[in-house]
Amino acid sequence: MLDQSLSGGFANPAQDSARAFRAALSALARPGRIEALTGATAPDPVSPAAAALLLTLCDGETPLYLAPGHDSPAIRDWIAFHIGAPIVAPEAAQFALGRWESLPLAAFPVGTSDYPDRSTTLIVERDTLSNDGPRLTGPGIEVEAHLSLPETAAFRANRALFPLGLDFYFTADDRLAGLPRSTEVEDI
């Protein structure tokens, strides 16, 4: 195990994880709102915001999928040391981490009619996040919001599955935004 795998966790786990959990909830409750999220450092290319999400939302019983580009020995070692989450195939994942183009959306569970919560939450790494792009409407948005999304068709198709579907976090450096399955996405 590399020294890099042993570092990068929260300095003050109770306080840092509480702040991260609040930011994660706020991001999903207010789609399009960009939150700051710091306190963790994982091996490249994992952003600080994604590292903090992993430390906060995953544990030793949380099946995690790592997309190509994020599935490296250094990242696996960091996850094993700090989180203990089992690394699984997409169809068994509760959480997934990677860049948009390397995440196999069709392979992830979207829940069932009896258990819509048994779906995957994707942590999508981006180069930047900004409040421009497609229009977002729905729960948690007063009138409309905007978020720089990688595309719109996949999110419209995901919304059509509601109450089933995938939930998304977008991360870029120390920035975080959420897009729950209940959000309607339209090109502007």
- 96-123 pLDDT, tens digit each: 999 999 999 999 999 999 999 999 999 9
Q: Where would I find the H helices in the chain?
A: 3-6, 13-29, 48-57, 73-82, 153-160
The CATH number linked to 31 is: 3.40.50.11310
The whole-angstrom separation of Cα 11 and Cα 131 is: 30
> Domain range holding 35?
3-186
Condensed to tens digits (0 to 9), the pLDDT of residues 130-144 reads: 999 999 999 999 999
Q: In sequence order, what are the beta bridge partners of 123?
A: 97, 169
Count structural domains, the chain.
Answer: 1
Look at residue 7 and tell me whether its pLDDT is greater than 90: no
